[in-house]
Amino acid sequence: MQVPLFTDASYTSVQRPLTFNHFHAHAEALREQNASGGAGVKKARTPRRGHAHHPKDTHAPVTHQTVTDVSLGKIDLGAHHVADNPLTTGLLRYIGYTNEVGEAFASMLSKGAIAATYRVVEYYAFADALLTGNRAYNKALQAQHSNKQAIVEGVTAGVDQGAFQFLASWLIPAYFVGQAREFVEEALHQTPKQNAKALLNKIPGVYEAGQQLGKSKLFAQSKMLQKAAPIVVAVGLIPLVVKPIDHGVQFVLDWTLRPVWDKGIKPWLMNTLAKEQECELEALAYPAKSPRSSSET
């Protein structure tokens, strides 16, 4: 649920300072929006890493958000092209697959090399969250919002994107790829069931089916195939788990982090800003008299 930014419908190209009434009106609008469940408000999501629509895709989405509020007027946040983010389009998007490839080739890599692939994705996810937050911050400033409110919008976008990247790029895909590789390795090498690590072997009937596959002539007589098959299966699984994991993570965040942030943390931040703005305005309207000026009178 995207919360409308502080603004005034009567603004022109000349920026004017926000008053406490603007903050108070926005806080009231936020409470009414949360009470109504955010009807009519559609939040644009930025896809994770390489799973954004490629610029060549003719069906690439362009999100255009318009929020209408009685007290704040009409706010047009403009069109956001997913292709504008260099970390989710082009060649840079493939950085997000580094740890998945590392898990696929784990049998050929050292533990340090595998850990390094996770570090790469961590830096990638952090950079994407930072870039997303910075763009939201600049967009708020361009829309003539206060610096404090722009910071809130930047933090909101950055936290959301960072949580999404952590789950959909760093944690879940690499786990599934690693489990698939271990399952094939255990099946082809006839690993005893008590020593099997792959969770797939815990499912009734799966372990037995894998053992029968390992005993087949195709794999039993070729050591090269026994080494290559787990890697091929794990690498081939990567493009298959992309969309299901993305949709699953979106669903989880929509029912956990995003409601907590939109209905709890963000309103608290806005109320805090409103109180600070009120104190600043009172200080300007009623400046405290210095001891020197009072003695002169």
Contact 96, 121 (CB under 8 A): yes
* CB of 65 closer than 8 Å to CB of 2: yes
Instruction: Kindly give the confidence (pLDDT) of every residue in the chain, 297 residues in length, as a single tens digit, with 9 standing for 90 and above.
Output: 433 343 333 333 333 344 444 545 555 665 566 566 554 444 445 555 544 443 333 333 333 333 323 222 223 333 333 447 788 777 888 999 999 999 999 999 999 999 999 999 999 999 999 999 999 999 999 988 888 888 999 999 999 999 999 999 999 999 999 999 999 999 888 888 888 889 888 888 889 888 888 888 888 888 888 889 999 999 999 999 989 999 999 999 999 999 999 999 998 988 888 888 788 877 887 776 555 555 555
Residue 124 CB contacts under 8 Å (≥ 6 apart), including other chains = 49, 87, 95, 96, 98, 165, 169
In this structure, which long-range contacts are made by residues 12-15, counting pairs with CB atoms below 8 Å and at least 24 apart in sequence? 15/144
What is the pTM (predicted TM-score) of this model? Answer: 0.68
- Pull the structure tokens for residue 127: 């950079």
